Amino acid sequence: MARRKRTSRKKSGSFFKRSSSGKDKHRDFAFGRGLKTIAIVFVLAAVVTGFYYLERYVKEVIPFSEKTGILELVNPPEWVNEALKEKIYRAAISNGEDLKLDEDAARSVQHNLDANVFWLDVIRVQITDESIRIRADWRKPVAFVKYGLQKFFVNSELVVLDFVPLPELPIVEVKGLSAKAEIPQPGSIWQHADLAAAVDILVYLDKMDELVTPDKPLLYEIAGIDVRNFNGRENSNYPHIILYAKDRTEIIWGAEIGLWQRYLEAPDSEKLAKLYNHYKEYGSLMNNVKYIDLRQPQENVPRPTDKY
Residues of the chain with pLDDT under 50: 1-20, 25-26, 29, 31, 47-48, 50-65, 305-308
Please write the tens of the pLDDT for every residue from 17-76.
444 455 554 455 454 555 566 656 555 555 445 444 444 433 343 343 455 678 999 999
Contact of 209 with 142, CB cutoff 8 Å: no
Clarify whether residues 107 and 243 are in a common domain: no
Contact of 50 with 42, CB cutoff 8 Å: no
List b or e across 145-176, with b for residues whose CB sees 16 or more CB atoms inside 10 angstroms: beeeeeebbbbeebbbbeebebeebbbbbbbb
Q: Identify the pLDDT of residue 32.
A: 56
- The residue type of 59 is K
Domain final residue pick, 116, 138, 160 = 138
Which residues neighbour 175 within 8 Å (Cβ) at sequence distance 6 or greater? Answer: 224, 225, 226, 227, 228
Q: Identify the pLDDT of residue 249.
A: 97
Clarify whether residues 82 and 112 are in a common domain: yes
Domain final residue pick, 138, 158, 191 = 138
C-alpha separations of 163 from 19, 88, 103, 155 in Å: 93, 13, 32, 12
Clarify whether residues 153 and 288 are in a common domain: yes
Clarify whether residues 253 and 162 are in a common domain: yes
Residue ranges making up the domain that contains 96:
65-138
Q: What span, in angstroms and rounded, lies between the C-alpha atoms of 286 and 290?
A: 9
Q: Identify the pLDDT of residue 5.
A: 46
Domain final residue pick, 138, 161, 190 = 138
